[in-house]
């Protein structure tokens, strides 16, 4: 996780150094869909692994596992297709 965060920081730093505003906009637009998918995946994983345990958490665990294993992968194509002009 730390390696991914550092790599995104390097990407953002390289994009901000670009002289062209249009180039920066295009680069951020290209990275935004991927960053959205990664954030959704790691965000849901962090909720699953870092949540507090309680006696009533069995039902909650089922829903979190469902979201993490099924909903997030199903949203990947939708998020990536938002860059497609025909889909928009």
Give the domain ranges of the chain: 1-56, 58-87
CA-to-CA distance for 88 and 85, rounded, in angstroms?
5
CA-to-CA distance for 82 and 80, rounded, in angstroms?
5
CA-to-CA distance for 32 and 10, rounded, in angstroms?
15
Taking only the tens of pLDDT, the chain with its 88 residues reads 789 889 889 988 998 999 989 888 888 877 877 787 788 778 877 877 787 776 667 777 777 778 778 877 887 787 777 766 666 5
Q: What is the pTM of this model?
A: 0.60
- What pLDDT score was predicted for residue 17? 92
3-state SS, residue 55: coil
Residue 75 contacts by C-beta under 8 Å, 6 or more apart in sequence? 37, 40
Q: Is residue 40 a contact partner of residue 73, using CB atoms and an 8 Å limit?
A: no
DSSP 8-state code for residue 18: -
- What pLDDT score was predicted for residue 30? 76
3-state SS, residue 40: helix
């Amino acid at each position: 996780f730390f390696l991914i965060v550092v790599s995104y920081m390097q990407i953002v730093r390289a994009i901000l150094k670009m002289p062209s505003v249009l180039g920066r906009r295009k680069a951020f637009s290209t990275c935004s869909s991927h960053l959205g998918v990664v954030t959704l995946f790691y965000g849901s994983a962090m909720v699953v692994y870092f949540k507090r345990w309680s006696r009533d958490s069995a039902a909650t665990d089922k829903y979190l596992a469902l979201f993490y294993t099924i909903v997030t992968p199903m949203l990947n194509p939708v998020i990536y297709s938002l860059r497609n002009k025909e889909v928009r």
